Amino acid sequence: MTRRAVRDQVFKLLFRVEFHDLEEMENQTQLFFEDEAEEKQTSKEEVSEKLASIMEILPQIDEEIGKAMTGWNIERIGKVELTILRLAAYEMKYDESVPESVAINEAVELAKKYGQDDAGSFINGVLSKLSVKAK
CA 68 and chain centroid, separation: 16
pLDDT of residue 78 exceeding 80, the answer is yes
- Inter-residue contact 1 to 70 (CB < 8 Å): no
**Amino acid of residue 111:** A
Q: What is the pLDDT of residue 20?
A: 81
Per-residue confidence at 70, pLDDT binned at 50, 70, 90? confident
User: CA-based angle 3:134:47, to the nearest 5?
Assistant: 25
The most confident of the ranges 4-8, 25-29, 33-37 is 4-8
pLDDT of residue 135 exceeding 60, the answer is no
Per the prediction, the chain carries an average pLDDT of: 87
Query: Rounded to an integer, what distance in angstroms lies between the CA atom of residue 110 and that of residue 135?
Result: 25
Least confident of 50-64, 69-83, 92-106: 69-83
Q: What is the pLDDT of residue 93?
A: 94
